[in-house]
């Protein structure tokens, strides 16, 4: 079964390149000599590229992605998680290239002037195409990540708080993502405001909708509201109010207050890996929760002793209570 799943994973890596080549052979008599490769906001194409050159670039990128992914999956190196992550990335990259190809060629079928081509809803297909890489995650073994060895800070002693504990809440933020959100908003105004002022908001089309979705996704992860109360630890998006993480007291096996290093947890921001997740905003103090199923969660917090002590007391009470 593992051999069959590995073979299917490799096969899916080559589907985008094969599709590009097959559609070119099928459609080349119906396509113009130059294909549209750039569009204005809500308007027709404003730049074109020679069809063979465009084909060569996209076919080359999709083939290289498939080749790299196949080698890593076949070799089985980089641990258990490496082939899965590499397969997902290269599969998504190859599918993105396929989306670019289809977004340019399908609207251009039987068209003589490529500057009259509108991309329309094909922009959504292109943006959604990287999700194709999720097939690799479904086909290849899940793998596991070793737990992070946590050393409690000697100068931050932790003891269980006396019950009943009062609710605790703080807002934490990432300056990097806040800056990225502001930059995206300013860029969006520069890109879309002139067209909206000239032709109305309805003329913006799908491009503006997709751009707004990207801004909202970034905004959702730049400010976090961290709450500790009788329900345990709860983390929500500070700007959108979306629940992101919940850990009940009964699920907590251990809590440590320590200095968090981004590389131990997969980088900055909201990170998810097999067996552990984290919200890392900078190098510095934070708390690490280990659950009874050995999953770990870490979050950057200033003065994390109070929420950690409260959670420790609630976890001890939950363990002492009869089943």
pLDDT for the residue numbered 1: 45
Query: Which pTM does this prediction carry?
Result: 0.55
pLDDT band at 168 (very low <50, low <70, confident <90, very high): confident
> 189-210, pLDDT tens digit by residue?
887 777 677 666 665 666 677 7
pLDDT exceeds 80 at position 142? no
Cα separation, 8 vs 3, whole angstroms = 9
Please give the residue that has the higher pLDDT: either 281 or 164.
281
Strands laid side by side in the 168-173 sheet: 168-173, 223-229, 232-237, 243-247
pLDDT band at 158 (very low <50, low <70, confident <90, very high): low
How large is the average pLDDT for residues 73-89? 73
> 225-275, pLDDT tens digit by residue?
999 888 889 999 887 788 889 999 888 888 888 888 877 777 778 887 778
pLDDT for the residue numbered 177: 78
| Mean pLDDT value across the chain | 81
How large is the average pLDDT for residues 203-224? 75
pLDDT for the residue numbered 271: 81
């Amino acid at each position: 079964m593992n051999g069959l799943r590995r073979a299917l994973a490799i096969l899916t890596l080559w589907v985008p390149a094969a599709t590009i080549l097959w559609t070119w052979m099928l459609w080349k008599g119906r396509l113009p000599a130059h294909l549209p490769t750039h569009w204005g906001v809500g308007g027709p194409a404003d730049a074109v590229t020679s069809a063979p050159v465009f084909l060569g670039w996209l076919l080359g990128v999709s083939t290289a992605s498939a080749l790299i992914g196949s080698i890593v999956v076949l070799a089985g190196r980089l641990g258990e998680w490496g082939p899965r992550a590499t397969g997902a990335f290269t599969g998504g990259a190859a599918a993105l290239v396929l989306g670019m190809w289809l977004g340019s060629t399908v609207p251009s079928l039987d068209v003589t002037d490529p500057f009259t081509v509108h991309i329309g809803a094909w922009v959504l297909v292109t943006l959604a195409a990287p999700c194709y890489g999720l097939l690799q995650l479904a086909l290849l073994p899940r793998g596991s990540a070793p737990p992070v060895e946590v050393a409690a800070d000697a100068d931050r002693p932790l003891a269980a708080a006396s019950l009943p504990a009062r609710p605790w809440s703080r807002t934490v933020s990432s300056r990097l993502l806040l800056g990225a959100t502001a930059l995206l908003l300013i860029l969006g105004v520069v890109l879309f405001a002139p067209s909206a002022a000239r032709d109305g908001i309805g003329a913006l089309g799908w491009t503006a909708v997709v751009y707004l979705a990207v801004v909202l996704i970034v905004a959702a992860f730049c400010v976090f509201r961290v709450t500790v109360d009788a329900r345990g630890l709860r983390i929500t998006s500070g700007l959108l109010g979306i629940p992101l993480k919940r850990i009940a007291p009964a699920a907590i096996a251990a809590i440590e207050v320590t200095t968090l290093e981004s590389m131990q947890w997969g980088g900055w921001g909201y990170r998810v890996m097999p067996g552990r997740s984290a919200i890392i905003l900078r190098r510095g103090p934070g708390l690490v929760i280990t659950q009874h199923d050995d999953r770990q969660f870490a979050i950057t917090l200033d003065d994390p002793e109070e929420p950690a002590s409260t959670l420790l007391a609630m976890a001890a009470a939950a363990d002492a209570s009869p089943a």
